[in-house]
Structure 1
Amino acid sequence: MAQVHYQPKRPWYGQVVPILQFMTRKATPALFAITMGTGAISGLFFSFPYATGSTPMLVFSLIIFFLNLLLFAFFSILVVAKYICYPDRWSTLIRNPVTSLYAGCFPMAATTLINVGVQVVNTEYNVGGKGFLYFLWAMWWVVVVVSFTCCWAGVHAMFTYQSHSLDRMNAMWLLPVVTLIVASSSGGIVANALKEYSPIRAFETVTLSAFLVTVGLSLALMILTIYLLRLITHGLPPDGTVLSVFLPLGPTGQSGYAVILIGQNYRTLFPALSTNLSDDTTSAGIIVDIVCTCLSFILWSLATMWILYALLAIYTALRKSAIPFRVSFWGLVFPNAVYANLTIQLGNVFHSRAFRVYGSIYAVGTLILWFSVFVRSIWELKKFVTRREDSDAPIAKVDEYQERCFPLPSSGTSITEVA
């Protein structure tokens, strides 16, 4: 009688380690698009125009904030571990026309944590007081440096190390330059809290934020012009990359929010810093605030225009075929969230019920979108831990498998491997 040999069951930690190794090899900067969207939802709970500042809204904002903090830390560990264990991936990160764009998601994800940390954790609950606020301010400076690197080094890499063409271009080109705009809006939030302790530091922060949004918006409008030309001459992006049509909401919506904050901060900082407390100083702050509000409304109008084009593009794409779920769906959350937030802020500035109602409806729709994508992502998470036979495969093969199973938004526009 043949003997049956039973293989002892592997302990739980013996199963977790290979899964973590597999996820590390598959890690990509695109993961931070998840934390960008999640952080934007946390901010929407704080800015929601009804029950603003109530305990339920603040609690929901904190719940999403801590979830986002855990995701950000986990993804950071995975990405850092990958590039430490596989240093040859660094060159691919720079030369890859897909992954290099996603590097900008990291600083933008970090700003969502800073924003809620300042507005809710520090200001509403007074956690950490002045010391914690200055810590968040220091983290903002780190984000600014990283955003500078993503913008100037990232765009320079597109000039020199990568190959691009108009027919393969999509709105993902915006990611490196939007980092400056997002950092600018975060600077406005930090400065608003900082002026209580140091008006001069707040003024310096707002001034740098004005520089950031000016450069970022200028580059973004140039790229949007090229993108419109690409849509007219070559049609909509193929397959799932059509979802990138919502990305123009990011620079237009977020820059509008940044400009509002800059105007509001200058309105209070001009009189506070002036040695001559005259009506002229007060009037200068008011004039700057009015100009910024008008500019913000113009940017909101541009964002609304792109929403209509995006909806028409999605409708046209769905008539041809269904759009398969992939990581690119997370790219829908952040742009729509910042547009909803800008609409709400304009409602507060104009004291307009129409803007508040529209912004609230759009915010609820964005929350439903985030929840749907989040639940579907958990459902699809099994694809990251299945195919365990690939856990010992070379890193290049794992990257190829990742590109097949989880194509990125611009995978149809660039022939490359995912770093």
Structure 2
Amino acid sequence: MSTAPHEAPSPSLELERIASSGALGERGYLDPSARLSLVASVSPPGAAAAGAHGSSSSGSGPHAETSAASSQTSQRRTGPRQEEKKGPASMSAAASPEDDVSKPPAAAERGNSQPPKRSRGVRERILNFTPSWFSVSMGTGGVHILLLLLGDVWAPYSSDYTTSPHASNTAALTLPTRILRWFALPVLLVNICIFTTFIAAFTSRYIMFPAVLPLTLKHPQKSVFIGTLPMALLTIVSTVSQIGTRAFDLGLWPTLLAVSLWFLAVVLSLACAVVIPYMMMIHQRHLLEGTTASLLLPVVPPITAAATGAGLVEILTRSHPSLAFTVLTISYICNGVGLMLALMILVLYFQRLLLFHQPAREVIISVFLPLGPCGQGAEALLHLGQASLYLFPTISTLPGSGVPQLSFPVGQALYGAGLIGALHLVGLGCWFMFLAVAIVIREQSQGKLPFSLGWWAATFPLASLLIGIGRCAMVLDSLTLRIIFTILCGAYGVIYFSVAIPTARGFITGHLLVAPCLADLPLDPLRKYRDPREDYDEAKA
């Protein structure tokens, strides 16, 4: 049964009708349904008639699409209120690990399995740039850190670090050590470019779309990845000082520059360790069955800051002992904040594994994250103790230092405690590594795992554990640990390239640029940059 075509109303009358119906938003923007209705009203008569005929005969056309868009808009607006009324069911949904980066916002909102939408244009890419992208810089930073450490591990052993490769004595370096440091330099430059690009996109996102910032902080999964920003910066800080002052003997200015950036990273790390857990407790909903090891991400940055600070203290001991003592003190405090919180979270995570088994398939790679605090904690304790062994006798004899009680036995005590703690944490990290490998192999045997940005969880945590193993190998002068460290470094290189190649492809195509937290926005943030006729064309498609 067909209906007679009707004359489309004029645009001015249609605008008055929309304004009187309350479809205008708080800032004067039209709702998506109102925009489609306005576009339909100013369309040619033939198109309007065809749309009306199609709507009455087959339930499709502009009017049906407008009502569907209107129902989706009303459902999105009423979603948060309905979620508050639901109780435990909604809590488990909010804490479910299925909201991983591999699931696009549309699929997360409607519960289907659509392929992720490709981000188009610079603005849309910036809007969908999430903090989890800094894990790419972290994984790349692990490469140049391990290259430097691999040269130090196989360098001639010396009990006095001031005459070993720890000091800026390039003449004592072997040929393999020199070659590895030349390989580390271009990787560092690439990582600096990656970090600079990401920090520009990260800053532009919240300047252009300020409404996204509270959504990111309140999102149960994406908020924890803010901790990857200071950790990515710390990987660069560590290598800048080591390469500039030690490898190429450029003087102390690279180390002093690194110290300035290190203080900035410490502030960011402590802010993440305080603000993100606060948001978890106050504004987010979590259940034990939805808990993953990603809870470690906000508290690991202080541990990484402590491990990086130990390397700075090592270089500053002879030239700036007072500054080195300040960095050492702050590093111990940061390690206490991060390591204690991480151990508490590991207990919670172990309980979750016992009661509810392994995490969901979409976030199964997160089982590697516990390696991070174990490895970084071991490196921080042992390296800080080693630095204290030589700094304390120097600082205690300085006139007017105020710390004459820091005699040589105090440094020995910290060194011994650091060695014991480092060996314990390395052992715990190896246990988590074997567990993670077994879980991933079992899951892979049941079907190919879908690639997502979360796969970078297998890079920097593994590099952190290798750093701890390498430091123990140097201090104990253990050939066995050196061999294990070298083999695992080769495995890390394979893992890095197997993750970096599909990530680069997904970044170029835009398939990995997905922000699940945007599903909570009442309107499209890009609406003011679009022509209403584009929305009409997309609705028709």
Q: Which of residues 312, 324, 328 in structure 1 aligns to 2:438?
A: 312
Q: Which of residues 150, 154, 160 in structure 1 aligns to 2:276?
A: 154
User: Could you tell me how far apart the structure 2 residues matched to 1:334 and 1:386 are?
Assistant: 19
Q: Which of residues 34, 39, 53 in structure 1 aligns to 2:141?
A: 39
Task: Establish whether residue 102 from structure 1 lines up as the match of residue 204 from structure 2.
Answer: no
1:5 paired residue number: none
Q: Which of residues 64, 69, 83 in structure 1 aligns to 2:192?
A: 69
Whose helix fraction is larger, Structure 1's or Structure 2's?
Answer: 1
User: Could you tell me how far apart the structure 1 residues matched to 2:299 and 2:524 are?
Assistant: 30
Task: Establish whether residue 201 from structure 1 lines up as the match of residue 303 from structure 2.
Answer: no
Q: Which of residues 485, 490, 495 in structure 2 aligns to 1:369?
A: 495
1:130 paired residue number: 252
User: Could you tell me how far apart the structure 1 residues matched to 2:470 and 2:216 are?
Assistant: 37
- Aligned-pair distance for 1:397? 8.5
> Greater shift after overlay, 48-57 or 147-156?
48-57
- Structure possessing the higher radius of gyration over alpha carbons: 2
Amino acid at match of 1:79: F
8 Å Cα contact 2:393-2:406 kept in structure 1 = no
Deviations 1:230-252 (A, max 9, x none): 01101111113111111000001
- Aligned-pair distance for 1:155? 0.6
User: Could you tell me how far apart the structure 1 residues matched to 2:293 and 2:392 are?
Assistant: 38
- Aligned-pair distance for 1:183? 0.8
User: Could you tell me how far apart the structure 2 residues matched to 1:131 and 1:60 are?
Assistant: 22
* TM-score, length-scaled by structure 1: 0.85
User: Could you tell me how far apart the structure 2 residues matched to 1:261 and 1:243 are?
Assistant: 29
Q: Which of residues 326, 338, 344 in structure 1 aligns to 2:452?
A: 326
Task: Establish whether residue 355 from structure 1 lines up as the match of residue 489 from structure 2.
Answer: no
- Aligned-pair distance for 1:386? 11
User: Could you tell me how far apart the structure 2 residues matched to 1:22 and 1:356 are?
Assistant: 47
Deviations 1:370-404 (A, max 9, x none): 112112222333431799xxxxxx988989xxxxx
User: Could you tell me how far apart the structure 2 residues matched to 1:358 and 1:282 are?
Assistant: 33
- Aligned-pair distance for 1:312? 1.6
8 Å Cα contact 2:269-2:301 kept in structure 1 = yes
1:91 paired residue number: 214
Q: Which runs of 5+ in 1 are unaligned?
A: 1-17, 388-393, 400-419
Amino acid at match of 1:45: L
Q: Which runs of 5+ in 2 are unaligned?
A: 1-119, 156-173, 514-519, 526-541
Amino acid at match of 1:316: R
User: Could you tell me how far apart the structure 2 residues matched to 1:294 and 1:93 are?
Assistant: 39
1:407 paired residue number: none
User: Could you tell me how far apart the structure 2 residues matched to 1:276 and 1:341 are?
Assistant: 33
- Aligned-pair distance for 1:341? 1.6
Task: Establish whether residue 188 from structure 1 lines up as the match of residue 310 from structure 2.
Answer: yes
Task: Establish whether residue 216 from structure 1 lines up as the match of residue 342 from structure 2.
Answer: no
2:34 paired residue number: none
8 Å Cα contact 2:452-2:512 kept in structure 1 = no
1:56 paired residue number: 179
| Paired residues for 1:378-393 under 5 Å | 378-384=504-510
Task: Establish whether residue 336 from structure 1 lines up as the match of residue 458 from structure 2.
Answer: no
- Aligned-pair distance for 1:319? 2.5
User: Could you tell me how far apart the structure 1 residues matched to 2:211 and 2:405 are?
Assistant: 61
8 Å Cα contact 1:22-1:385 kept in structure 2 = no
Task: Establish whether residue 27 from structure 1 lines up as the match of residue 153 from structure 2.
Answer: no
* TM-score, length-scaled by structure 2: 0.66
- Aligned-pair distance for 1:279? 12
2:418 paired residue number: 292
Distance 1:396 1:147, change over 3 A: farther
Distance 1:362 1:386, change over 3 A: closer
2:296 paired residue number: 174
1:251 paired residue number: 373
> Greater shift after overlay, 130-139 or 201-210?
130-139
Q: After the TM superposition, list the runs of 4 or more consecutive aligned residues in structure 1 that deviate by more than 6 angstroms.
A: 276-280, 394-399
Task: Establish whether residue 227 from structure 1 lines up as the match of residue 349 from structure 2.
Answer: yes
Amino acid at match of 1:301: G
- Aligned-pair distance for 1:329? 0.9
Task: Establish whether residue 271 from structure 1 lines up as the match of residue 406 from structure 2.
Answer: no
Taking only aligned residues, the RMSD between alpha carbons, in angstroms, comes to: 2.5
Amino acid at match of 1:180: P
Distance 1:323 1:81, change over 3 A: same
- Aligned-pair distance for 1:201? 1.3
- Aligned-pair distance for 1:200? 1.5
8 Å Cα contact 2:396-2:406 kept in structure 1 = no
Amino acid at match of 1:295: G
User: Could you tell me how far apart the structure 2 residues matched to 1:44 and 1:286 are?
Assistant: 27
8 Å Cα contact 2:503-2:512 kept in structure 1 = no
Query: SS state of the match for residue 376, structure 1?
Result: helix
Residues paired across the two proteins, number: 377
> Greater shift after overlay, 18-27 or 184-193?
18-27
User: Could you tell me how far apart the structure 2 residues matched to 1:141 and 1:182 are?
Assistant: 13
8 Å Cα contact 1:25-1:395 kept in structure 2 = no
Query: SS state of the match for residue 252, structure 2?
Result: helix
8 Å Cα contact 1:253-1:299 kept in structure 2 = yes
User: Could you tell me how far apart the structure 2 residues matched to 1:354 and 1:397 are?
Assistant: 59
Distance 1:213 1:398, change over 3 A: farther
2:27 paired residue number: none
8 Å Cα contact 1:19-1:385 kept in structure 2 = no
Distance 1:87 1:299, change over 3 A: same
Query: SS state of the match for residue 162, structure 1?
Result: coil
- Aligned-pair distance for 1:176? 0.5
Deviations 1:187-237 (A, max 9, x none): 111111122221121111111111111121111010000000001101111
8 Å Cα contact 1:23-1:385 kept in structure 2 = no
8 Å Cα contact 2:220-2:280 kept in structure 1 = yes
